[in-house]
């Protein structure tokens, strides 16, 4: 069973997605997600110009060897563009293998280790009242765990809080993060943020009780000592995790956070290879792995990473924002169902437009996700529907301090 063609589809039903479709000479198709938020066309070009022709004629069953060929065989390796492209090839080959075997992917990974995956949703609010309403709405939709993001007095617009205005005064939804050019601008003030956030969790715990798992995402904005202060101040509110509390390029910074707090830490949604995680895992500096199948080179390396993490009692918390397409999301649901050290799965819910282009067997019931029983990944691309949503330039917002200095993502 050889690969006969490799085609790339860029479509924008609510937001941009890059999808690779591989077709074998006996007519089986496989899909892979190569979406890289704000840099979609770079990955599409990498696949079309540098990868597609290498694949045609290759044995579609040789997933490991193809992965090594694309990763190890290239002189310039790693980085988000390359690894999203390799991820798409890897996922598409797993999709094909599952369809050829007549089995959902999780069965090929060892079978189910649980009946479903605990999901967390994104609650946020510009005021205590709207935050409370957002948490209630999530609980009513079935969520048993919520991420809590809040506006901060003194900061005009903060990523992750839906109902705010950007620095220009214009209102925007943070997903899909600021369509158009140039990117919207938000502002940042670490001192204001550190003063405010603990009081928000105090109120949320008072209202919702001790049992609801609460998560919070800092989006890499604090220095190690600021992050240590936050993690320490949040300890009474017993977070499920504190995410991306420091810039991800500086793993040893988390040693300082660890020295001061037992708040569990999650990091790694922007990581691309196991090397980015090596020190964090071996030194036990994190508790949850935030990689996604899409930005980490696919199912093959994600499975290896999570098995490595298991040696250190570190669990999964795979990245599941709407900029991971339903194809990439399905891939990590299959991994999450099969592995032993599953922790939690982020779930942001794709729009109706997205779901009309990507038909999925995945289900969400009573706060639990399941990839379904369809052979392969369980996602089909409706190419006709996709064609009605052409690519639109779209960027994540950028952040500046009050004096105009660019701040970390």
How many other C-beta atoms lie within 10 A of the C-beta of residue 114?
A: 14
Active site residue 172: no
DSSP string, 177-209: T-BSSSPPEEEE-HHHHHHHHHHHHHHHHHHH-
Residues 256-295 as x/- pattern, contact with ligand KDG by CB under 6 A: -------------x--------------------------
Name which of 215 and 285 has its Cβ closer to Mg ion. 215
Q: Which of 221, 225, 152, 229 is nearest to 193 (CA)?
A: 152
User: In whole angstroms, what is the distance from residue 151 CA to residue 200 CA?
Assistant: 10
Residues 388-407 as x/- pattern, contact with ligand KDG by CB under 6 A: --------x-----------
Active site residue 159: yes
Residue 187, contacted partner among Mg ion, ligand KDG, none, CB below 5-8 A by kind: none
User: Could you say whether residue 37 binds ligand KDG (CB under 6 A)?
Assistant: yes
User: Could you say whether residue 323 binds Mg ion (CB under 5 A)?
Assistant: no
Q: 248-263 burial by CB neighbour count: b if 16+ within 10 A, else e?
A: beebebbebbbebbeb
Smallest gap from Cβ 100 to Mg ion, in A, equals 35
Region from 20-28, 94-102, 315-323, 397-405 binding ligand KDG, contact rule CB under 6 A: 315-323
* 57 touches 2 (CB < 8 A): yes
Q: Is 58 helix (H, G, I), strand (E, B) or coil?
A: coil
User: In whole angstroms, what is the distance from residue 291 CA to residue 318 CA?
Assistant: 5
**Residue in 143, 159, 174, 347 annotated catalytic:** 159
Name which of 186 and 269 has its Cβ closer to ligand KDG. 269
User: Could you say whether residue 217 binds ligand KDG (CB under 6 A)?
Assistant: yes
In the window 207-226, what residues touch Mg ion (CB under 5 A)?
Answer: 217
Number of residues that bind Mg ion (CB under 5 A): 1
Q: Residue 364 is encoded by which pair of tokens?
A: 């969400």
Smallest gap from Cβ 215 to ligand KDG, in A, equals 9
Smallest gap from Cβ 295 to Mg ion, in A, equals 12
Smallest gap from Cβ 241 to Mg ion, in A, equals 10
Name which of 186 and 380 has its Cβ closer to ligand KDG. 186
In the window 61-120, what residues touch ligand KDG (CB under 6 A)?
Answer: none
Smallest gap from Cβ 144 to ligand KDG, in A, equals 18
4-10, Cβ contacts within 8 angstroms, sequence gap of 24 or more: 4/56, 5/56, 6/47, 6/51, 6/52, 6/55, 6/56, 6/89, 7/52, 8/34, 8/44, 8/47, 8/48, 8/52, 9/381, 9/383, 9/386, 10/40, 10/41, 10/44, 10/391
- What separation in angstroms does the CA of 180 have from each of 7, 9, 89, 184, 239? 26, 20, 29, 9, 35
Region from 251-259, 296-304, 319-327, 386-394 binding ligand KDG, contact rule CB under 6 A: 319-327
* 324 touches 34 (CB < 8 A): no
Residue 321, contacted partner among Mg ion, ligand KDG, none, CB below 5-8 A by kind: ligand KDG
In the window 325-354, what residues touch ligand KDG (CB under 6 A)?
Answer: 346
Region from 98-106, 280-288, 318-326, 387-395 binding ligand KDG, contact rule CB under 6 A: 318-326
Report CA torsion sign: 67, 69, 72, 78: negative
**Residue in 122, 138, 216, 219 annotated catalytic:** 219
* 35 touches 17 (CB < 8 A): yes
User: In whole angstroms, what is the distance from residue 360 CA to residue 355 CA?
Assistant: 7
Region from 194-202, 317-325, 351-359, 375-383 binding ligand KDG, contact rule CB under 6 A: 317-325
Smallest gap from Cβ 160 to ligand KDG, in A, equals 7
Q: Is 174 helix (H, G, I), strand (E, B) or coil?
A: coil
Smallest gap from Cβ 60 to Mg ion, in A, equals 34
Question: How many residues does the structure list for the chain?
Answer: 409
Name which of 104 and 125 has its Cβ closer to ligand KDG. 125
How many other C-beta atoms lie within 10 A of the C-beta of residue 140?
A: 8
Name which of 86 and 344 has its Cβ closer to ligand KDG. 344
Name which of 95 and 323 has its Cβ closer to Mg ion. 323
- What separation in angstroms does the CA of 344 have from each of 241, 246, 308, 369, 375? 10, 21, 17, 10, 24
Smallest gap from Cβ 154 to Mg ion, in A, equals 23
Q: Which residues bind Mg ion (CB under 5 A)?
A: 217
- Report the catalytic residues: 159, 219
Q: Which residues bind ligand KDG (CB under 6 A)?
A: 37, 217, 219, 269, 319, 321, 323, 346, 396
């Amino acid at each position: 069973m050889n690969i006969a063609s490799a085609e790339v589809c860029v479509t924008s039903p609510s937001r941009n997605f890059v999808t690779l479709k591989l077709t074998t000479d006996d007519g089986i198709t496989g899909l892979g997600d190569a979406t890289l938020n704000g840099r979609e066309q770079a990955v599409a070009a990498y696949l079309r110009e540098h990868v597609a022709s290498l694949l045609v004629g290759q044995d579609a069953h040789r997933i490991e060897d193809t992965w090594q060929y694309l990763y190890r065989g290239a002189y310039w390796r790693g980085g988000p563009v390359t690894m999203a492209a390799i991820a798409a090839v890897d996922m598409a080959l797993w999709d094909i293998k599952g369809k050829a075997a007549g089995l959902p992917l999780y069965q090929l990974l060892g079978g189910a280790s649980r009946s479903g995956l605990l999901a967390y949703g994104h609650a946020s609010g510009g005021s205590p009242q709207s935050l409370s309403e957002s948490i209630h709405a999530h609980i009513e939709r079935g969520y048993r765990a919520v991420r809590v993001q809040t506006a901060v007095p003194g900061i005009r617009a903060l990523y992750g809080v839906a109902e705010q205005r950007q620095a220009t005064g214009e209102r925007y939804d943070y997903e899909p993060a600021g369509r158009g050019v140039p990117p919207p601008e938000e502002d940042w003030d670490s001192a204001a943020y550190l003063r405010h956030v603990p009081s928000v969790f105090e109120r949320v715990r008072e209202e919702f009780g001790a049992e609801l798992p609460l998560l919070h995402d800092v989006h890499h904005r604090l220095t190690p000592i600021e992050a240590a202060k936050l993690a320490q101040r949040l300890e009474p509110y017993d977070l499920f995790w504190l995410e991306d509390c420091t810039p991800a390029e500086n793993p040893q910074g988390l040693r300082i956070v660890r020295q001061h707090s037992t708040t569990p830490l999650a990091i790694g949604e922007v990581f691309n290879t196991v090397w980015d995680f090596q020190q964090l895992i071996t030194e036990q500096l994190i508790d949850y792995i935030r990689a996604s199948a899409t930005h980490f080179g696919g199912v093959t390396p994600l499975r290896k990473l999570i098995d490595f993490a298991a040696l250190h009692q570190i669990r999964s918390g795979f990245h599941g924002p709407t900029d991971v397409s339903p194809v990439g999301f399905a891939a990590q649901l299959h991994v999450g169902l099969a592995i032993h050290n599953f922790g939690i799965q982020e779930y942001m819910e794709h729009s109706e437009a997205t779901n009309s282009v990507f038909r999925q067997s995945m289900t969400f019931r009573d706060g639990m996700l399941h990839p379904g029983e369809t052979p392969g990944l369980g996602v089909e691309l409706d190419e006709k529907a996709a064609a009605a949503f052409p690519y639109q330039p779209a960027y994540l917002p950028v952040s500046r301090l009050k004096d105009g200095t660019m701040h970390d993502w």
